[in-house]
């Protein structure tokens, strides 16, 4: 029997006010944060519950209509927006904002997928707990989106990426079935770990509707310093010393002079040092007690450091962090940048960067910064704006090929999305990709969940 138009079915499920079909109502859901990925949605639906989300997915599956899950739309690889065909429905999770009670003894909480990172941490503050993940898009990025991308950020050195912080997930699979595993048991050997599988699946296996999270004690005291270095190599040696001296090291973020200058110029900020330096490492220790004395001892013993600016109050800390966190916006304004979010072993970073610069085509410049302790380099190549696709592919192939030759990963924390799916084979074997396809077919038999994302085309 003909199930009737999908639009009518969706309106019946979520109500007219939350089924957006007018172009100006859909517009904000059709372009990603970078502005580089644009598409068109048949309709945007905003379910208010898992049951509504399940009914929406089932309605799409019955009709073979593609569906793109979207949280805060801060993703950087084009996975959160539909393609240009106008076929896909966007399912926004922003109304899934229930917050459960804080389980103090277990240090866990269950929250709706649409809760933002900032909203979650504000809710947890009176309980002196936090998620243990932080990133500059905290005001908009949602817990569901962070789970779907296995987000990393600035505290991975201490608390790991999102997968380590998740003890259970509730999700709607591609046929509309709801799988809910939210007890948050630390010991639970009862078969496949679907939560872990959904984490990092980028909306290709199901819509995550709620997440059970492992929390960490809130760092009541934080000490922050910007250290200046003669180059990447001494800075990496300095990081090794800091890791040994400071087990509570929570962030180790690096920048280099051209990126710092871009931020200083664009936002009219003052240089924290009287002289420029080739490289900078922003370090932060977070603890429940005052870590100043261990911090001061570690800094005093640091070999090779050229200068140090310690933040003595909250405003000074914000000024130091702004230098690092404004890189993405400053590069977008100078761009569009071609973005690569890669991991290489930290010791290999200097050689890798030298080789990237040698491989770049004339007229481009390469900015880089990132999460040094994780070996996570964010390369942003400028000067690519009006180049043809074939030339952009050539640049991608050169950069990502070098990553593979260094034994790295072509996506450290942002995911594969639309941007990198062609290159998945550089980091995953044919056998792994074929296992991915088998999982995809099993959980999304109609193939409607975020087609064109993560998995490369066949053939
Ligand atoms: P969206 O952008 O809406 O979606 C991202 C992907 O997840 C898409 O494929 C989408 O289909 C899927 N998805 C979203 N919600 C769901 C759901 N409920 N169920 C199933 N699939 C879903 N990332 C880092 O890892 N570390 C950083 O340090 C970092 N810094 C950033 C700084 C800035 C300024 C910006 C703009 C982005 C940054 N990001 C960073 C990238 C981004 O914030 C993360 O990828 C984040 O996890 C995306 O969350 P979101 O809710 O915005 O997801
Ligand atoms: C960060 O660490 C983000 O600031 C964004 O992951 C990186 O803009 C980028 O390339
Ligand atoms: Zn990052």
| DSSP sequence for 124-178 | HGGGTEE-S---TTTTT-BHHHHHHTT---TTHHHH--HHHHEEEEEEEETTS-E
- Ligand 2 pocket: which of 321, 372, 414 to mutate (most atoms <8 Å of CB)? 414
pLDDT of residue 435: 97
Ligand 3 centroid to residue 28 C-alpha, Å: 24
Closest ligand relative to 150 C-alpha: 1
What does the alpha-carbon distance between residue 223 and residue 242 come to, in Å, rounded to a whole number? 14
Pocket of ligand 2 from Cβ distances under 6 Å: 136, 328, 339, 341, 378, 380
Look at residue 459 in the predicted model and tell me its pLDDT.
60
pLDDT tens across the length of the chain (459 residues):
788 899 999 999 999 999 999 999 999 999 999 999 999 999 999 999 999 999 999 999 999 999 999 999 999 999 999 999 999 999 999 999 999 999 999 999 999 999 999 999 999 999 999 999 999 999 999 999 999 999 999 999 999 999 999 999 999 999 999 999 999 999 999 999 999 999 999 999 999 999 999 999 998 889 999 999 999 999 999 999 999 999 889 999 999 999 999 999 999 999 999 999 999 999 999 887 888 889 999 999 999 999 999 998 899 999 999 999 999 999 999 989 999 999 999 999 999 999 999 988 888 999 999 999 999 999 999 998 889 999 999 999 999 999 999 999 999 999 999 999 999 999 999 999 999 999 999 999 999 999 999 999 876
Q: In 317-450, at which residue ranges do the beta strands (DSSP E only) sit?
A: 338-343, 365-371, 376-382
Q: Which of 146, 143, 19, 140 is CA-nearest to residue 89?
A: 19
268 φψ region: left (φ > 0), alpha (ψ -120 to 50), beta (else): left
Q: Using CA positions, which residue lies closest to atom 27 of ligand 1?
A: 153
Whether the Cβ atoms of residue 439 and residue 205 lie closer than 8 Å to each other? yes
Residues facing 254 on adjacent strands: 281, 370
Which pLDDT score is estimated for 221? 87
Residue 291 is predicted with a pLDDT of 87
SS3 at position 103: strand
């Amino acid at each position: 029997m003909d199930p009737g138009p999908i639009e009518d079915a969706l309106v019946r499920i979520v109500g007219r006010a939350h089924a957006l079909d007018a172009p100006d109502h859909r517009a904000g859901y059709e372009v990603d944060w970078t502005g580089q990925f644009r598409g068109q949605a048949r309709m945007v639906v905003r379910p208010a519950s898992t049951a509504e989300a399940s009914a929406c997915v089932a309605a799409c599956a019955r009709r073979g209509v593609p569906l793109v899950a979207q949280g805060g739309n801060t993703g950087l690889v084009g996975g959160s927006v539909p393609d240009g065909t106008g076929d896909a429905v966007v399912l926004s999770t922003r109304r899934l904002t229930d917050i459960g009670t804080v389980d103090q003894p277990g240090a866990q909480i269950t929250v709706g997928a649409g809760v933002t990172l900032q909203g979650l941490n504000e809710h947890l503050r009176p309980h002196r707990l936090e998620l243990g993940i932080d990133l500059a898009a905290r005001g908009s990025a949602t817990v569901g989106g962070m789970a779907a991308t296995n987000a990393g950020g600035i505290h991975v050195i201490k608390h790991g990426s999102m997968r380590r912080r998740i003890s259970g997930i509730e999700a709607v699979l591609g046929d509309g079935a709801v799988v809910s595993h939210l007890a948050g048991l630390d010991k639970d050997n009862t078969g496949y770990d679907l939560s872990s599988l959904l984490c990092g699946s980028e909306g290709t296996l199901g819509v995550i509707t709620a997440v059970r999270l492992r929390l960490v004690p809130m760092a009541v005291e934080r000490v922050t310093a910007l250290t200046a270095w003669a180059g990447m190599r001494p800075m990496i040696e300095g990081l090794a010393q800091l890791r040994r001296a400071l087990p509570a090291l929570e962030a180790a973020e690096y920048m280099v002079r051209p990126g710092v200058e871009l931020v200083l110029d664009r936002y009219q900020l003052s240089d924290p040092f009287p002289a420029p330096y080739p490289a900078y490492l922003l370090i932060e220790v977070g603890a429940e007690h005052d870590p100043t004395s261990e911090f001061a001892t570690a800094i005093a013993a640091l070999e090779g450091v050229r200068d140090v600016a310690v933040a003595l109050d909250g405003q000074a800390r914000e000024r130091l962090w702004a230098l690092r966190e404004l890189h993405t916006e400053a590069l977008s304004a100078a761009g569009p940048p071609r973005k690569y979010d890669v991991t290489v072993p930290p010791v290999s970073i200097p050689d890798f960067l030298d080789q990237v610069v040698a491989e770049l085509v004339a007229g481009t410049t390469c900015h880089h910064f990132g999460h040094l302790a994780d070996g996570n380099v964010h390369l942003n190549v400028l000067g690519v704006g009006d180049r043809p696709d074939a030339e952009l592919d050539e640049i991608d192939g050169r950069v990502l090929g070098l990553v593979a030759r260094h034994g790295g990963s072509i996506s450290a924390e942002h995911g594969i999305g639309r941007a990198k799916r062609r290159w998945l084979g550089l980091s995953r074997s044919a056998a792994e990709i074929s296992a991915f396809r088998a999982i995809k077919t099993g959980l999304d038999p109609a193939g409607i969940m975020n087609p064109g994302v993560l998995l490369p085309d066949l053939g």
